[in-house]
Amino acid sequence: MAEYQATTPSGREVTLRFEAAEHAGRLASARRELKARGLDALLVFAQESHYYLTGFDTSGYVFFQVGVVTADERPTVLLTRRPDLRQALVSSLYDDVRVWLNAEGARPALELRGILEELGLKGARVGVEFATHGLTGANCREVEAALDGVCALTDASDLVRTLRLTKSPAELVYVREAGRLADVATRAMIDATRPNILDSAVTAAGVGAMLAEGAEMPATGPLVNSGPRALFGRGVGGPRRMGDTDQLMIELGASYCRYHVCIEHTVAIGPVDPRQRDMVTVAAAALDEIVEAARAGRELGTLDDIHRRVLDGAGFATERFAACGYALGCTFRPTWMDVPPMIYSGNRLVMQPGMVFFVHIMIPDTRTGLAAGVGQTFVITDGAAERLSDIPLVLHQR
């Protein structure tokens, strides 16, 4: 894992996952976009944006935490809690780090107002990252009340997110390593699958394997659903003991320096139902055709058109999902999905080199009780998409 030493304008030494020059370029791009939108500043609430712009890496976004980035060269300011102070000082390029203290009746939004007034932003047009887990509804109401009459607020949730959608060469190094780790974990999970064990033991095998190889815990846990739960589209609490004849759906995201890569596979335990083998064959054919069609200059929604055509033609129109994937990148809890964009029919986003997408083809057939799912992550290039997994798209047997 790369570490880069840098010095802030105030003389503070920091350690980063990317070179300071890359962060400077990202910040400059964000400031250009602020100016293009006629905005004077951005209130950064998304943890992904903190990390992308300054390198700041923490889980403290679950409380009130905000960065202030102006459209000009005024110092960037972070307002956070005391437990996050040290990380902000040694692993971020924020020029100025302020702390609000927990106390009965504490209102950090009022401290944010003071920072904006101090920066000369009274009466300014300020963008806000509303669409993020880093800004709860309650905190949003506090911000709007505190800044009423002080600034004109507008939604700028997409500003940094759009910049993050296209990965730099340095980011793709981390993405490819996450892909390797995802394969390590998934192979360990397939190998660990056998009758009469808890499906949670399979989860443990995958998580242990990828952590031992250098991953960190992903932004959400693996989906490891067995038996009738293999038809679920989400993970579920409570382990289940697998039988002599069973099925297991594995969807896993591996994380490296917060960059995620996902893969999905189906495992049959005991005798294989030919119908399930055929379902996986259909899903794999759809995925292969989608990856082949994933080219720069094409609209993202055309990938879901393929998904719908192949599955509908095979008789699964009522069983398939309404979307077949989403963007991936640097994400924090509670999800590895870096959305928007989702991959759904009609999405007019034009794919560009450096974008990273996860496509999964799931067939939860409630008519038979059988499930099939395959999924891979790939990078859009100047030619054919670059797949980040080499595990065969087959029904795995144990």
pTM recorded for the entire structure: 0.96
Q: Are residues 229 and 376 in the same domain?
A: yes
Share of the chain above pLDDT 70, in %: 100
Task: Give the closest residue to 257 by CA, choosing from 318, 173, 192.
Answer: 173
CATH number of the domain bearing residue 115: 3.40.350.10
- Of 136, 164, 192, the residue at which a domain comes to its end is 164
* Per-residue pLDDT at 1 exceeds 80: no
Buried/exposed code over 295-319 (b: 16+ C-beta within 10 A; e: otherwise): beeeebbbbbbbbbebbeebebeeb
- Of 133, 164, 195, the residue at which a domain comes to its end is 164
Instruction: Write out pLDDT tens, residues 180-227.
Output: 999 999 999 999 999 999 999 999 999 999 999 999 999 999 999 999
CATH number of the domain bearing residue 290: 3.90.230.10
Q: Are residues 212 and 352 in the same domain?
A: yes
Task: Give the closest residue to 45 by CA, choosing from 61, 34, 24.
Answer: 61
| Whole-number average pLDDT of the chain | 97
State the pLDDT at residue 397: 97
Segments forming the whole domain that contains residue 157: 4-164
Instruction: Write out pLDDT tens, residues 254-263.
Output: 999 999 999 9
* Count of positions (residues) in the chain: 398
> H-helix or E-strand containing 209?
helix 199-212
As a whole number, mean pLDDT of residues 238-247 equals 97
- Of 131, 164, 197, the residue at which a domain comes to its end is 164
Q: Are residues 145 and 251 in the same domain?
A: no
| Domain count within the chain | 2
* Per-residue pLDDT at 141 exceeds 90: yes
